[in-house]
Structures are given as structure tokens and as C-alpha cells.
Structure 1
Amino acid sequence: MRRAIDIHQHLWPDAFLSSLARRTAPPRLKRDGHGWWLELAGDAPARFNPADHDPAARVGFDRVVVAPSLPLGVEALPEAEALLEDFHSGVLALGAPFTLWASPARPALVDELLKAGAAGIALAGRELVDERWAPALERLAEAGKPLFVHPGPASGSPAWLPALTDYVAEMHAAWHAWAAYGRPRHPRLRVIFAMLAGLAPLHAERLAARGGPSDAVHDPLTFFDTSSYGPRAIDAMVRVVGVDRLLYGTDVPVVAPSDLAPLGEAALHALMVANPERVL
């Protein structure tokens, strides 16, 4: 498929890897006789393969938008600005086909990051309607750039447990909060929710029954990436929000891409080409 776009991958450039390896406390990378390990607060060390972040191994797309790894919790560190600069500058230096979802260490950096070449900015779901970010979202809307909403830190063992509980709950809460409070304040801002917002729009009937803003499922400026879901969940979302508001995202290398061939060529063209070109 020509001009295919993946709007959600993770890639840690060399400078960012080196910075994590120099740290003495989580989040950090640590090496022993058995290889590299990623240590996060509250989690057991997890095996880490630097080869998973080799740009040369990312093939098959004409554009890849690289997201910050918000679950690391870098944004909350005192040295966040320096660490994120290593990430931002490293991704931007890669050039085509890579571009960047930037993670501002503070709201005032949004303009600077957009000027440097970021496609837009990324926020953790729990930060979405935090009042301190409101001016940054206004600047983003004025610049005509989108916001990418992604889960933030969550610890637990085994690793799939927070991914199926905390991450989903955070994205549910973010989408509902955006519908109730964020969209009225930022009527022009394009927003993309990772992982289909945890399938939150599929609860529209319950939302309506409880008196909530169920019309949010029809918001033409709110979009959803397909990361970590397969054709059955995507088909269910199409029936609620329509195919024109779904964007192809893989979450590589965190998870392997799903086979979406059962959706058909027309749907794949919408997800991989037409929709992301329009949104980005």
C-alpha cells in the first residue's frame, strides 16, 4: 500500500538510550552478564533489546510518527527537560520517514517543539484536562497541529496486567473527560487517542443512559489509533465512530502489529493513507 503511515511507534535514539543507561535510579537501563534490563519504578526488571530500536529495522512505511514512551515517567523527573531533549533531537535527526510526537517537559515548550519539526505533542491521558496544559493546547490548536493522547506510568506484574487495566482505565477516563470538558474549551483541536481510547466509545449507550455527552462519538475532530487491537475490535469501533476517524498505529516494538487484512482494502486505505494524511 503506497504512502502508508504508522502514527504510533516507539523508537529510542542512541542519545536517549545512553542517558537511560547512565541513570542510577529508575527509569533506567542496566547491563549485566545476561544483557540489558529496563528498570521502572514498582516493576521487576524487564529484558531490553537495543536492536528493537534500530531505525534501519523499521521498514514498510512512508511515514512513521514516533511517540514518547510516557509510561517511563520521564516527564515527572527533575531532569526531564534534558532527557526529553535527547529523545526529541535524536528522533528529529533521523529524518524521513520518521517524525515526532513531542513530549513537552513544561507547557511553555510547545511552540519550540513545533518549530523544531514535531508533528504535534503527546500527553498522558491523566494530563489531558489538567488546567496547566490548557494554554499549551490552545497554542497547538492555533498552529493547526494535533494532540496525541497516550497512557502514562502504571506498574504491576505480570506486565500485561496494567496494560489491560490501568492503561485501559486511563484512556477511558481521558476520552470521557475530553468529551465533557476538553472539547467545549478547545473546539478546533484535533485529538488522537491511542489504543482506540481503550474502546471507550463502545460504551456510548451506557453513557447516554447515565446522562453523559454521548454525542461525543460523532465528534469529527476526535480520532483513534488502532494500536494493540485487531480486526474485531476495529470493526466494532467503525460501527460506532465510522471508519474516517480511525488511524493505523502499531505500538512497535512494544507489541507486534495485528493482521488487519480481514478489514478489506478500502478500510486499510482509509486507516493507513487517507485518514492520517488528513489528520496530520
Structure 2
Amino acid sequence: MRDDTQAPTGKPWRRAIDVHHHILPDFYHDELTAMGIPVVLPGIDKPTWDVDASLTMMDRHGIRSAVVSVWPGVPGHLEAKPAAEFARRVNEYLAGLVADHPGRFGAFAVLPFPYMDVALEEFTYAADVLGLDGVGLVSNYGGQYVGDPAMDPLFEEAARRKKPLFVHPTLPPAGARPLPDLPAPWYEFPFETVRVAAQLLYNQTLERYPDLAVILPHGGGGVPSYAGRLASGGLISPALAERLPEDPMRSLQRLYVDIAMTGDAHALAALRSFAPASRILVGSDFPLMPEAYTLGTGHGVLAHGKFDAEERLLLDHRNAEGLFPRLSGKEA
């Protein structure tokens, strides 16, 4: 029987599906630049990207497929019509990328928030016509977090179609940067993910939509360290107790996380104590993080994560195949 538990020399993965893989098409960068919007955040160098760079990186890492996302998606200041047109152009580009490289790419659609009706129309088109694999979201849209009940119409449709939501952090509302001499992602992004998880928990989103899959990147941000704290709100407030599901920790552990930026022993200790092996996914964060770093993360996860042989298979590709059946070759 073939041994899929050990990666070839130099490659952390064997047949991995990378669920956290950014792309930066030239037209996207140019249009955002024309609007005065940085594609990456202050203090962070703009990475270069093209399709060949992704494919070459994937081959060097043992990644057979990447589910790509265009971050930060659709600019939030646009009116409904231009926002919808912008989303459509990005999503059709993504569909073309997937079609041109069968089996190598999947894609998370972008949606024109905050316009829910328009966003749902685009989701229907992206899922049913273009065949995209899920939805890429940012943690908040002008201060409205993804866990807000106002997002329920999207949750309902995503759960019905079994299309995962990938929720990437962004800056807090109003672009708060309390440490202006340091790049905000280094200290704000983990807490943005905690805010999303807190709302999902206290609004019982996963209980109300049991078929909804939500992926939180960067090892769940600060969620593994804060999960016990989030789950204990009922101890200080009867009102909070009424909002919690029956088993708050188990609810949080239904969230999926990827391993991007978790390659050190300290991060992995929290991640492994919190997340079941069935909820952990490969994520590179390429090219927003340098390839050498993502390669080191992969090796670090396997060296320090204490995954047994079966868990390695789940991490490498089986968990992701359950979420993205097209990439497994076994359509749902």
C-alpha cells in the first residue's frame, strides 16, 4: 500500500490542497491603485505574482491544488452597480484561471458587500454558473463583522450549496492603527479573527446552519488562545448565557483553521490543543508571505505539531477534499 504519510525530501506536503493562497492579477492591482486603495497594507511590501509563480511554488511544496482568493476583494466604498461589476470581473477571471489549469486551482468568489441583495445575486452566479468553490470574505465590512446576523442570508445560501466561507482578517473599523510604526496585520489580524469567532459563537451561527463551513486563516488567529474565554461569557452575564449554544467550546471547534503562520512550537501547542485534526487545513499565505517562510511553516508544523500518520493525511488533503469535492475528483 502506498505510504502517503511522509513528504518527499524538501517538500512538507504530498498531495496537499492549499486553502490560503492569494493571487494579485494585474488588472485588480491597477484598478485599486487608480482608486487610491493599496492592494496590501501600509508597512508591507507589495508582492509580485503571476500564475507561473504560484504553480512553481506549489510544485516545490508538494501542493497539488490551491483554492485561491483575491484579497481584500471588492472596495467597500463603491456604489452597488460598480461594486457588482467589479466583483463580476474578478469572479470571471477566477473561473478562467480554474478552467485553464484543471485540478490545480479552485477559487473563492468575491462579493459586492455591503449590498446583500446584490451580493446574493453574484454568489448565485459565481456558484451555479461559474462553478467557483466558495466565498472569500474579509473580517468586517465597514464595522459589520461576518458573524453579524445581517449576514444570515449569505450563511443560508452557502450552507444550502455547501460552499465554504474563507474569512480573512482585515483592518479594524476606521483603519485603527494604535501602533502606527508597525504593520497592522502583525498585531491586529489575530484579534479580527477572534471578533468574527465571538459573533459566530454568540449568534449560534453554526448551530443554526449546521452545513455551513467557515475557514479561519492563520491557525484561527487568536481563537485557540481565547476560546475558553469566549466560551465562558455566561458566567458573568445571564443575557450572554442565553445566547450561547449548549456546548460553546464544541461550537468553536467546528470552525476550520489553516496552518499559515503557525510553524513555531508555541503557536502549534495552542492550535493542536484547540482544533481537532479533522478541522485543520494546509494554508501557505503565498505570496503575501515569502515562499521560504511558507516552506519553513510547513516543515515546522509537521516537526512540532505531533500529527500521527492518519492526521497527516487529513491535514495534507483529506479535510480539504471534504470541503472541495471537485478537487478530490469526486464530485458531491
**Aligned position for 1:74:** 75
Letter in 2 for 1:269: L
User: 1:158-237 alignment to 2 at 5 Å?
Assistant: 158-160=181-183, 162-181=184-203, 182-211=205-234, 213=244, 215-219=247-251, 221-232=254-265, 233-237=267-271
**Aligned position for 1:241:** 275
Asked whether 1:99 is paired with 2:143, we answer no
Residue by residue over 1:9-53, the C-alpha shift from the partner in whole angstroms, topping out at 9 and shown as x without a partner, is: 1102233234335x1x3215xxxxxxxxx586xx47x6435xx21
**Aligned position for 1:54:** 50
> What is the deviation of 1:209?
4.1
> What is the deviation of 1:4?
1.0
Q: Which moved more, 1:72-81 or 1:146-155?
A: 72-81
Q: Contact 2:191 / 2:222 at 8 angstroms: preserved in 1?
A: no
Q: Contact 1:84 / 1:103 at 8 angstroms: preserved in 2?
A: yes
Residue by residue over 1:147-177, the C-alpha shift from the partner in whole angstroms, topping out at 9 and shown as x without a partner, is: 11111335444453x2133222211011111
Gaps of 5+ in 1: 29-37
What is the total number of aligned residue pairs between the two structures? 262
Gaps of 5+ in 2: 1-12, 113-118, 235-240, 325-332
Distance in 2, matches of 1:268 and 1:140, equals 28
**Aligned position for 2:36:** 26
Change (3 A) 1:84 1:69: same
**Aligned position for 2:139:** 125
> What is the deviation of 1:82?
2.9
Aligned-partner SS, 1:26: coil
**Aligned position for 2:284:** 250
> What is the deviation of 1:203?
2.4
> What is the deviation of 1:221?
4.0
Q: Percent identity?
A: 23
TM-score, normalization: structure 1? 0.82
Change (3 A) 1:130 1:179: closer
Runs of 4+ with deviation above 6 angstroms: none
Q: Contact 1:12 / 1:87 at 8 angstroms: preserved in 2?
A: no
TM-score, normalization: structure 2? 0.70
**Aligned position for 1:271:** 315
Distance in 2, matches of 1:225 and 1:153, equals 20
CA RMSD of aligned residues (A): 2.6
Aligned-partner SS, 2:27: helix
Q: Contact 1:226 / 1:248 at 8 angstroms: preserved in 2?
A: yes
Asked whether 1:85 is paired with 2:88, we answer yes
Residue by residue over 1:93-151, the C-alpha shift from the partner in whole angstroms, topping out at 9 and shown as x without a partner, is: 12231221112112332111112121111222233133442112111111111111111
Residue by residue over 1:207-246, the C-alpha shift from the partner in whole angstroms, topping out at 9 and shown as x without a partner, is: 3444264834324642111222214213422222221111
